[in-house]
Each structure stands twice: as structure tokens, then as C-alpha cells.
Amino acid sequence: MIEGGELCPARPEERISFWDTHVHCYPPEVIADPVAWARAHGEPHWERLVTDGPQGWADPEGLLRAMDAASVEKVLLQAWYWENPSTAELQNSWHAEWMQRYPDRFAACAALHPGLHDLEGALQSAKEWGACAVGECLPQVQSPDGWKHPGWETILEWTTAQGWPFCLHLTEPAGHDYPGRVETPLMEAVALFEKHPAQKWLCAHWGGGLPFHSLNRRVKKALKNVWFDTAASPLLYDSRIWRLVCDLIGPERILFGSDFPLRVYPRKQTLPSWDLLLEEFSQSGLSVDEQRLISRDNMARLFKLG
């Protein structure tokens, strides 16, 4: 376990528990040949993202080994924003199996596609196998009409009524290009939050930088039910972002996420690992209390996990 005296400015007896709210995991048959698998399932966007760049891989057992090596206690398995309903159904079967196998280590989101024939039935099924949220979703990839597809409203009505968070991919509007990059206009997200004020939202990747706009009065009001994860942070921002965003929106609204098994320090990592990210986090200038909120407590509270 990571002790306060080693990785954070705390007394030796103080301990920071780490839960990761943004992890991806795949079965061995996908990892063996991701290109062939993507083409067999009609998922060209996923193929572009995972076959070029700092992608790493982990099946459930490999994920557990990496968690144990880094003293990460629990992870939230994020689904993918698949282009086909059948692929979403397939990933839900993976998550259901892995949660049953490792209930103390894995929590999971449900994969959803707005074109599923019976959305409410799929959501109810996900609830029954133990999912605690929907996402990661990216409507600009999942439907030609983006948010205009009526299926999204059906999903949001259900998740709002159930108190489930909706995990949303947001892309930073100013930044480097990469294969598969998709623009997600931040004001479109703000309008969505305003339209669904009772819905809980978790915006991935620091919300595309949206917290920096919280100084704007309209945006600040729209973000009252919005949280942000830190997935892939070192690929996007320098380490000052931890302190800056904490000061802007408060530590209660930030959830530690890695995007594991992405190699977020590609020049320093040949294999995916949490070590460098945990070191950056511990040296970010956050207090021990702030670190506890971000590294575990906020995830437990938002997703109603013990």
C-alpha cells in the first residue's frame, strides 16, 4: 500500500487509498489481434485509437497483477463508445463476468448505444448484473446525429431516475492532433448539463478543460452536478493541473483516473503502469485530505460503492 511517508507529504502513519475511476480491460481474444477483432465487429474508430500511439493492454488477470503491484485497491471498468449496438452488448457480457469473478476489486459501467432495440431493457439488465453507471459515451462517434438521436434521451431519463452517473468523453478544444480525435464542443456539453440538471455527469479527461471555464457564471451554474476524472492527464496537461483545477472547482468534484492500460508517459514506459502517475499525483501540491477525496472517497460516494 502506498504510505504517506513515501509518496505524499504526510506523516508515515497516514495512508492514501487508491481507487481508479477510469480503466479499460479486454479479454485475451481481443488483445491477441485487435485489428482483426475491430474489423470483424465493424469498429473502425476503436481500431484507429488502439493501434497507433501509446496503447497498452490488460485482460482481467493482468489488470489485477498491475493493481497489486501499484497498491490500487479498486477500479471502475469503463465501457467503450462503440459504433455498433452488438459490440456494446458484447462488452456488457465481459463486464458482468468479470464483476462476478472479482467483486471486491472491480466495479463497472454499462456499455450503451442509442440504437439498441430495447434500451430500457438493456439498462435494467446492466443494473441486475451490477453496473453502477453508463459510459464512457461519445455520441459524436456512436450516432451520425450525435446527441440528436432519440435514444440518448431514453438513456438519460433512466439514468436520472436511477441516480446513475453518465460518463462522458470530452476532448480538449485546444491541443495536439492524434488518430481518432473527435471534437466535442464544450458549449454543447454545457447546454446538455443545463437541459438535464438532475443528471449526474462524470466528464473524462478533465472534461476537455471545462473546469477552467467555471469562472464564467453560466458555466459555473451548469456544472453544479458535474464531476471530472483525470484520465490520461500526463498526455494532455502538465502536472500543475491538479492544483489549478482543485482550486477552481474543489477537490470534491475530481476523481482519480488513469486511462489504464494507456501508457500515459510513453517516453518513459514500455508497459502500462500506475507508478509514475501516482508519483505525479503525490507531488502535485494537494493536501492529504484533498488527495483522499480525489483518490478514493469521491468515487465511492458518486458511484455508491462501499
- 121 assigned to some structural domain: yes
221 close to 17: Cβ distance less than 8 angstroms = no
The count of C-alpha atoms lying within 13 angstroms of the C-alpha of 241, restricted to the half-sphere facing its C-beta, is 23
- CB-based contact 221:197 (threshold 8 Å): no
Residue 17 in any domain: the answer is yes
220 in any annotated domain: no
Number of domains, the chain:
1
**Do the domain assignments include residue 161?**
no
- Residues paired with 137 in a beta bridge: 168
Domain assignment present for residue 197? The answer is no
Q: 305 falls in which pLDDT band (50, 70, 90)? A: very high
Residues of the chain with pLDDT > 70: what percent? 95
Predicted local distance difference test score (pLDDT) of residue 80 = 98
- The CA distance from 16 to 2, in Å, is 6
Domain at 247, CATH number: 3.20.20.140
**How far is it, in rounded angstroms, from Cα 62 to Cα 23?**
12
Element (H, E) at 161: helix 150-162
Could you tell me if residue 52 is inside a domain? yes
Burial group, residue 198, by CB count within 10 angstroms (0-12, 13-18, 19+): exposed
Which tens digits make up the pLDDT trace of 93-103? 999 999 999 99
Domain residues for the domain of 45 are 4-130+232-302
pLDDT in tens, 236-276: 999 999 999 999 999 999 999 999 999 999 999 999 999 99
| pLDDT tens figures, 24-46 | 999 999 999 999 999 999 999 99
pLDDT of residue 5: 39
| pLDDT at position 3 | 40
- 51 vs 91: which has the higher pLDDT: 91
Distance CA 305, CA 295 (A): 14
In a domain, 47, yes or no: yes
Residue 177 has pLDDT above 90, yes or no: no
Q: Is 58 left (phi over 0), alpha (psi -120 to 50) or beta?
A: beta
Asked if residue 11 belongs to a domain, the reply is: yes
